[in-house]
Amino acid sequence: MQPDETDFPDPETCDRARLARDPAFDGLFFSGVRSTKIYCRPVCPVRPAKSANVSFYPTAAAAENAGFRPCLRCRPEAAPGSPAWRGTASTVGRAMRMIEAGYLDDKPVTALADSLGIGPRHLSRLFARHAGASPAQVAATVRVQRAKRLIDLGEMPMSEIAFAAGFQSIRRFNDVFQALYGRAPSSLRKRIKR
């Protein structure tokens, strides 16, 4: 949640908070140092600049729009309200939505990681922590669940279900169902009374 104008403190309050490195103000404003053209969070560990050289902005975007670069020490992109602050769970949630939509049906995990702006190893670590399974395992489960729903409908031939669910081959479709359910996918189809 980005601060709105009603949350933006007056310049004197901002300056006191910046000099005190008050964490209560982190994410409520950013300070731009005119002599270095760098903007920071109020909690920045760097020696504070002279108050006369500092201006205040309600958002990181406003500071950048005024010509300031983000500080490499306090990392304004990780301030409260930013996507990084919301945590890695938001990255995993976005990846899960992409997987649910079939992203990994025809692309590798490396492509998913690239689209999220992180490396594949980091993505695997995040999934292990938040989902308890790798992205590939989650995608496999999603494909099986999709296929099972289509099988239960009882309308499509098994070969069409395999491809509609995201499997790359009928053999893989059959192997996965055999391993998971201990039987062929066709044996799971409910008998429809006519």
How confident is the model over 150-173, as a mean pLDDT? 91
Pairing state between β 54-57 and 69-70: unpaired
Query: Tell me, which fold does domain 5-82 have in CATH?
Result: DNA Methylphosphotriester Repair Domain (3.40.10)
Q: Is 87-187 in the same CATH topology as 5-82? A: no
Q: Where are the domains of the chain?
A: 5-82, 87-187
Over the range 171-187, which residues count as b (16 or more CB within 10 Å of their CB) and which as e?
eebbebbeeeeeeebee
Indicate whether 193 pLDDT > 70: no
Confidence at residue 4, expressed as pLDDT on a 0 to 100 scale:
43
Instruction: For residue 7, name the pLDDT band (cuts at 50, 70, 90).
Output: low
Average pLDDT for the chain: 85
Q: Please provide the CATH number assigned to the domain covering 87-187.
A: 1.10.10.60
Q: Spell out the residues 6+ positions from residue 169 whose beta carbon is closer than 8 angstroms to its own.
A: 162
Percent of the chain with pLDDT over 70: 89
